[in-house]
Amino acid sequence: MTDQTVAGGFAAEPRLAASGAAVGDFISLLKPRVMSLVVFSGLAGLLIAPGAIHPVIAAVAVLCIAVNAGAAGAINMWYERDIDAIMTRTSARPLPQGRIAPEDALGFGVALSILSVMMMGLAVNWTAAALLALANGFYVFVYTIWLKRRTPQNIVIGGAAGAFPPMIGWAAVTGDVGLESLALFLLIFLWTPPHFWALALYRSGDYARAGIPMLPVVAGRDRTCRQMLIYTLLLLPAALLPVLLGTAGLFYGITATALSLLFIVSALRVWQHNDDRRARQMFGYSVLYLFLIFAVLVVDQTVGLPGLPS
């Protein structure tokens, strides 16, 4: 524990810098790196959905997804400012450093959450807006507040929040939720645990100091590696569902198979080699994997490559 920790396990509030918060500090609250992958998967869902949508309305939908994801990140930083101050990976964030007052961060996140949902409903449709609100609420209340500090299954259940964007993009075009968008939800849902557990393996000391029960901390490396392998194996058939449902063609199917097999190989290498380097490599590849899966899905759908023969 650090000297910022006080009774009850919460860090003392750092003093706000006299100069106040800079614009860059509020941008940092939005977790722009995390937001970029969320936005891309949401855009992919929008692009592959059947039907037409006006380019301006599409841009508004993507903007709402981005703002809402950032807003949830800001509320997450407000709630976790005590553990962020303890963890090396997060100690430089604006709240632990005292560059933003907690109440300002919370107000910022809540205001953007409400604004993005209302804009999505009024400018696009209320189905997409409801899914956007559900994703935000799931991340804030289910994952951040309820699960993260209580169970090693935090990322398994809470990871569903990050699986909503392609469904939201799909609903922005179609106004409903189909099996095709649920398949995209499942893909991200199964991808999330091995992605975050790879990070947790080489950051386990950070999580242990903060008292976060990530799987490597409470169950050890071996069990974590087994679970990662199981999820990457499940991800292979899940990645092929768009082909079976007619959303994608054989080009996507072949590429998704190759990418998924490489993900399985990455999990096996982490299990076989007891070092942080393999876990870092798998974490990096997991980000590339999801980006390429959705990129190829969009290309496949846009170019109109053939699917399975009927």
The pLDDT value given to residue 304: 59
Tokens 């790196």 -> residue: 33
CA dist 164 → 58, 219, 291 (Å): 17, 29, 15
Q: Which residues neighbour 1 within 8 Å (Cβ) at sequence distance 6 or greater?
A: 86, 209
The pLDDT value given to residue 20: 60
Instruction: Return the half-sphere exposure (C-beta side, CA atoms, 13 A cut-off) of residue 209.
Output: 20
The pLDDT value given to residue 305: 53
Task: Read off the amino acid at residue 21.
Answer: A
Q: What whole-number distance in Å separates Cα of residue 15 and Cα of residue 223?
A: 41
Q: Which residues neighbour 140 within 8 Å (Cβ) at sequence distance 6 or greater?
A: 72, 75, 76, 79
3 state DSSP class of 5 = strand
Q: What is the mean pLDDT of each run of 10 residues along the chain (310 residues)?
A: 37 45 88 90 96 96 97 96 93 93 96 98 98 97 95 91 96 96 97 96 93 94 96 98 94 97 97 92 97 96 58
Structure confidence by residue, pLDDT tens digits, 175-194: 999 999 999 999 999 999 99
Q: Which residues neighbour 84 within 8 Å (Cβ) at sequence distance 6 or greater?
A: 77, 90, 91, 93, 95, 96
3 state DSSP class of 11 = strand
Question: Looking at the whole model, is its pTM more than 0.85?
Answer: yes
The pLDDT value given to residue 35: 87
List the domain boundaries for the chain.
Answer: 22-176, 178-310
Beta bridge partners of 11: 5
CATH number attached to the domain at 22-176: 1.10.357.140
The pLDDT value given to residue 15: 43
The pLDDT value given to residue 301: 85
